[in-house]
Structure 1
Amino acid sequence: MRGRVGTGTALAALAASALALGLAPLALADSYSWVEHTTSESGGQGVQGAWLARSGFVLFGLAVLWLVHLRTLRWRQPATVFHIVFAVCMVGVAAFSLRSWVTGAAYDAIEDLLHSECATVMGFAFAFGVTAVAFQRRSRGQRWRALDAVAVVASVVLPIWMSIDGSVDGAVQRAMFVIAYLWYAREALTTP
């Protein structure tokens, strides 16, 4: 199922994921701020409406796995492995939820830790995967893409920004997600 149908499936799953994560704040308590609180917190432990954000994570992971299937011959190694790791970790952040943003809410510390570990590995896998695809493309005589550089720089700079200024974590993390969605959509639309 490669070609138009395969590409359409990947793009539809990416769009459904983005829609779920975009709408998730509307399903949450008024104390949730999309600027201050992360997408992970919108899928947090014990949060009413968290299913929407978690569904977005799962759809994103499945979309990337499908895209890997479509692009394996073009991406080759190690890019394919990095994007598989990204996808599996994206599903992992849905399976293991972060603690709620609500102060004093009960949570499972192990699950919170597993979520954070999956998110960290996912970030590195994305950066390395994008870099590997860019080098693979370059080895075939193709030009560098600005979106590749933006994606790699964002995957390094934006998490640092989040660690420095926690008041805008949600907005900054959403910017990372938008860049990742754009990068994967561009790859889906690129002819093998």
Structure 2
Amino acid sequence: MQHAWVKRELPVDSGQQRLAFRLAVTGVLAIIAAMTVGPMFSPTEFSWVAHSTSEQAGQHLPGAWIMRSGFVAYGLGTLAAATLTWHRRSWVSAALALFGIGLVATAIWSNAPIVPDLPVDLHQDWLHSIASAVVGTAFAAACAARLFLPGGQHRDRVAWCGLIISVLVPMAMGWLPELRGLLQRAMFAYSFLFVLREFRPG
């Protein structure tokens, strides 16, 4: 006899699924807009190739609110979508909900500014680092849950790539600091693919 917790997938109301997908799409489009438009309002020291999105949203920087708004929109969109589809794949939804909460937290507490001589709140910078770590860990957990926990698929290539990327890209950012921003934005782009596929109707 198959126990309830081994079921592959529980049905979700089609209206809820469509709403969840629309919320996720809205969040993704908002953060893409923030990543694209934000640098135009950033200080001259900012480089989207070398500097991370966290540095784009750094303390006391002009235009930082744009990237912070992107974090909040993507975070809330993912959190809401995960809540609406909780019973479909609960472990994946739980990880993505934490991913969304972490993103909102990165906007609440900001990274130290890249511009010299600006005031720095080191405690806020530390909290931002914790929130960023939560985001990365939660995304890796969502990929792992998609692969290994009840309702997952061991041959899910999208999840396998996401899990590998979540490990290798942060390491590559340390090895190639001049490309940190580019590498992080590529990792974000892959998270968009994973999140939208997860909440896609059907």
Whether these two folds match at TM > 0.5 is yes
- Asked whether the 8 Å contact 1:7–1:188 carries over to 2, the reply is yes
Other-structure match for 2:127: 114
- Asked whether the 8 Å contact 1:35–1:170 carries over to 2, the reply is yes
How far has the Cα of 1:147 moved from its partner? 1.4
Is 2:106 the partner of 1:58?
no
C-alpha separation in 2, matches of 1:115 and 1:164: 22
- Asked whether the 8 Å contact 1:98–1:115 carries over to 2, the reply is yes
How far has the Cα of 1:69 moved from its partner? 1.7
- Asked whether the 8 Å contact 1:65–1:83 carries over to 2, the reply is yes
Other-structure match for 2:183: 172
Other-structure match for 1:82: 95
Is 2:165 the partner of 1:150?
no
Other-structure match for 1:45: 59
Q: Number of matched residues? A: 188
Of 16-25 and 47-56, more deviation after overlay is shown by: 16-25
Is 2:75 the partner of 1:98?
no
Of 104-113 and 35-44, more deviation after overlay is shown by: 104-113
C-alpha separation in 2, matches of 1:50 and 1:174: 16
Sort the Cα spacing of 1:48 and 1:141 in 2 relative to 1 into closer, same or farther, 3 A: closer
1:164 aligned partner, one-letter code:
W
Sort the Cα spacing of 1:179 and 1:187 in 2 relative to 1 into closer, same or farther, 3 A: same
For 1:72, what is the secondary structure of its paired residue? coil
Is 2:22 the partner of 1:8?
yes
Is 2:79 the partner of 1:68?
no
- Asked whether the 8 Å contact 2:33–2:70 carries over to 1, the reply is yes
C-alpha separation in 1, matches of 2:52 and 2:153: 36
Sort the Cα spacing of 1:109 and 1:141 in 2 relative to 1 into closer, same or farther, 3 A: closer
Other-structure match for 1:128: 141
1:38 aligned partner, one-letter code:
S
The root-mean-square deviation of aligned C-alpha atoms, in Å, is 1.7
- Asked whether the 8 Å contact 1:11–1:188 carries over to 2, the reply is no
C-alpha separation in 2, matches of 1:73 and 1:25: 39
Q: Deviations over 1:70-117 (max 9, x none)?
A: 32111113x333222211111000000001111343210000000001
Q: Deviations over 1:9-39 (max 9, x none)?
A: 3212221222122221111122210001110
TM-score, L = length of structure 2 = 0.86
- Asked whether the 8 Å contact 1:20–1:52 carries over to 2, the reply is yes
C-alpha separation in 2, matches of 1:189 and 1:32: 35
Is 2:47 the partner of 1:33?
yes
Structure possessing the higher radius of gyration over alpha carbons: 2
- Asked whether the 8 Å contact 2:20–2:82 carries over to 1, the reply is no
TM-score, L = length of structure 1 = 0.90
Other-structure match for 2:197: 186
Gaps of at least 5 residues in structure 2 are 1-14
